[in-house]
Amino acid sequence: MTDIRRTVLWVVFTMSLVLLWDGWQKHNGHPSMFSPAPAKPVATAASAPAGVPSAAALPGGATAAAAATPTGAAPAPTASETVVISTDVIKATLDSQGGSLVRVELLKHKDESDPSGHVVVLNRSAQHHYVAQTGLVGVAGAPNHLNLMTLQPGARTLSEGAQELLVRFESPEMGGLKLIKTYSFKRGTYAVAVKHEVQNVSAAPVSPQLYVQLMRDGSAGPGESSFYSTFTGPAIYTEKSKFHKVDFKDIEKGKAEFEKNSGDGWVAMVQHYFASAWLRNAAGPREFYAKKVDTNLYSVGMVFPMGQAAPGASVSAEDTLFVGPQEENKLAALAPGLELVKDYGWFTILSKPLFWLLNFLHEQLGNWGWSIIALVVLLKIAFYWLNASAYRSMAKMKAVNPRIMEMRERLKDKPQQMQQEMMKIYREEKVNPIGSCLPIFLQMPFFIALYWVLLSSVEMRHAPWIGWIVDLSAKDPYFILPLLMTATSLLQVWLNPAPPDPVQAKMMWIMPLAFSVMFFFFPAGLVLYWLVNNILSIAQQWMINKRMGVQN
């Protein structure tokens, strides 16, 4: 039966690794091993210069793709004008070429590589290309993100007491159309309202279509760890298909699959802690696309019909561009499902309530480190009787272990008799060899879910705890927490009954050491969570061993 117990433990350990790997795969946009990828149409787009999408037939606004693609080449970069906009939370740079947003600096978030600077999400530089663009298709020669627009006069800094800052671009007449694009930057928010007004200055009615897109290179975001992986790339959400990540590699191979047409939804670019997204909550037809623009350059976007504009009339549309941190509660308020850009992978159903509880504790305690400790304590209380059952089983196993070891040595040449004697000892002592396995297995999903909560929460980025821990999202600079966690893991092994098999006994000591190596490079918040869990487990097991008269 001891062999059976060890086998069950190894199965639990193996299944835990499988679940972790599957969660990792899902977190990186790959399909789960436990469910087939949904059969959806592959999104493809005809080749177009510099990333301009071709218009497909949409309900209420059918046009020919040939008429949608602009023929003019992009003007020289020196011909455009840039303007820097500042609010209380962002510093943004816009370019008159297309009226595009080409740089967004988050003034409330420090840069990992330069503590004196701020996080830059959108950025157009020699090292990184990540911009937000819009334009018109569906009418030959219509203004798009390649064409120069005129920046209108106005304030460039959100003044004290003001709640809104408007930035307006106007295009020249092109294809019988004139496009007016107005950005509305508001105090205290990373969501920017963007209004597009199309004036028909031709002699015939027209039905333009508006595209909004995010263009980004496929390079990993700054601060990525080599010991754990987070998803970087496009994401598409519809009410029908929900949140769907699109891997850059799938776009490269022409194998990207997602819902292509819908009456709702949004598009985003996701990276660890931060995201950008084009949002339109109003119901209406839209076409989604994700495509390769150039070498290591990709775009994701939506195309909307704007309706028919009679000669001399105009049509308009309003959208929201979000560029900022993945603060779960604030994202949920902006658009349905937007909080899913903070992706918990396979354990979302458990991670979301755990984050809610962690956030509630932070509101009471005012410190994320103490909130993590309080959350682990609450989980231990919730699972107290389940854990007590496991530890009582372990204590009984440890009490009879000397008899088992002596019997195995005496009957090592008689395996069948040895198994019979072992079963007899267990029956006499009322020991259930697998009694300690089930409670551990039942709790495993909760602890894995909490792992993803701590890994994904931007709220803990640069959040201090005590003393030397000044950033719970970074590794412990002096490795004190990892060393303590390793020591507590080894103490747990010592408290547990030793396997009769010498090889298994050695493995029980080696496994915590091997597992602990990763924690030297994990964020301090994760290590703190495991350390507190170990300490509480040791305390509970020691008390039960003492109560049952088992020598530790």
Q: Could you tell me the two tokens for 104? A: 């967004």
Of 319, 287, 320, which Cα lies nearest the Cα of 305? 287
235 DSSP assignment: E
Greatest mean pLDDT among 359-363, 387-391, 418-422, 516-520 lies in 359-363
Q: Could you tell me the two tokens for 256? A: 């990207």
- pLDDT tens digits, one per residue of 205-264: 999 999 999 999 998 766 555 555 678 999 999 999 999 999 999 999 999 999 999 999
What local confidence, expressed as pLDDT, does residue 316 receive?
A: 97
Greatest mean pLDDT among 188-202, 407-421, 466-480 lies in 188-202
Element (H, E) at 213: strand 209-217
- pLDDT tens digits, one per residue of 431-455: 666 555 666 676 778 878 888 888 8
Averaged over 106-134, what is the pLDDT?
A: 90
Least confident residue range of 191-205, 312-326, 463-477: 463-477
Is residue 534 within 8 A of residue 485, CB to CB? The reply is: yes
Residue with token string 């011909």: 79
How many CB atoms are closer than 10 A to CB 362? 21
Least confident residue range of 131-145, 345-359, 457-471, 505-519: 505-519
Of 539, 542, 540, 524, which Cα lies nearest the Cα of 477? 524
List CB contacts of 449: < 8 A, sequence separation 6 or more. Answer: 344, 347, 350, 351, 354
Is residue 481 within 8 A of residue 369, CB to CB? The reply is: no
Q: Strand, helix or coil at 223?
A: coil
What local confidence, expressed as pLDDT, does residue 242 receive?
A: 92
d(CA 209, CA 61): 7
List CB contacts of 424: < 8 A, sequence separation 6 or more. Answer: none
**Which DSSP string corresponds to 273-338?**
SEEEEEE--S---EEEEEEEEETTEEEEEEEEE---B-TT-EEEEEEEEEEEE--HHHHHHHSTTG
What local confidence, expressed as pLDDT, does residue 490 receive?
A: 86
* Distance in angstroms between the alpha carbons of the first and the last residue of the chain: 23
Q: Judge whether residue 266 has pLDDT over 90.
A: yes
Q: Judge whether residue 383 has pLDDT over 60.
A: yes
Residue with token string 């219509």: 142
Is residue 183 within 8 A of residue 322, CB to CB? The reply is: no
How many CB atoms are closer than 10 A to CB 488? 20
Q: Judge whether residue 419 has pLDDT over 70.
A: yes
How many CB atoms are closer than 10 A to CB 496? 17
> Which amino acid belongs to residue 483?
L
Q: Judge whether residue 362 has pLDDT over 60.
A: yes
Q: Could you tell me the two tokens for 461? A: 């980025």
Distances, alpha carbon 156 to alpha carbons 87, 151, 476, in Å:
9, 12, 41
Of 238, 450, 452, which Cα lies nearest the Cα of 342? 452
What local confidence, expressed as pLDDT, does residue 398 receive?
A: 65
What local confidence, expressed as pLDDT, does residue 41 receive?
A: 35
Averaged over 506-519, what is the pLDDT?
A: 76
> Which amino acid belongs to residue 496?
N
What local confidence, expressed as pLDDT, does residue 225 receive?
A: 55
Q: Could you tell me the two tokens for 159? A: 């003044």
- pLDDT tens digits, one per residue of 29-77: 444 444 434 333 333 333 344 555 654 433 333 332 323 333 333 434 4
What local confidence, expressed as pLDDT, does residue 499 receive?
A: 60
What local confidence, expressed as pLDDT, does residue 494 receive?
A: 78
What local confidence, expressed as pLDDT, does residue 223 receive?
A: 54
- Laid out side by side, the sheet with 266-270 consists of 150-151, 164-170, 177-186, 191-200, 314-325, 274-279, 266-270, 233-238, 242-245
- pLDDT tens digits, one per residue of 134-174: 999 999 999 999 999 999 999 999 999 999 999 999 999 99
Of 209, 198, 208, which Cα lies nearest the Cα of 312? 198
Q: What percent of the chain has pLDDT over 90?
A: 53
Is residue 246 within 8 A of residue 235, CB to CB? The reply is: yes
Helices and strands in the chain: count of H runs, count of E runs: 12, 19
Q: Which CATH class is domain 38-43+80-218+227-343?
A: mainly beta
Is residue 174 within 8 A of residue 308, CB to CB? The reply is: no
Q: Strand, helix or coil at 371?
A: helix
Question: Looking at the chain, which residues constitute the CATH 2.70.98.90 domain(s)?
Answer: 38-43+80-218+227-343
Q: Judge whether residue 26 has pLDDT over 80.
A: no
List CB contacts of 305: < 8 A, sequence separation 6 or more. Answer: 58, 59, 60, 61, 138, 207, 209, 284, 285
d(CA 17, CA 23): 10
Least confident residue range of 64-78, 325-339, 341-355, 483-497: 64-78
Bridge partners for 214 per DSSP: 132, 300
pLDDT band at 415 (very low <50, low <70, confident <90, very high): confident
Write down the mean pLDDT value for the chain.
81
Q: Is 327 exposed, middle or buried (0-12, 13-18, 19+ CB in 10 A)?
A: middle
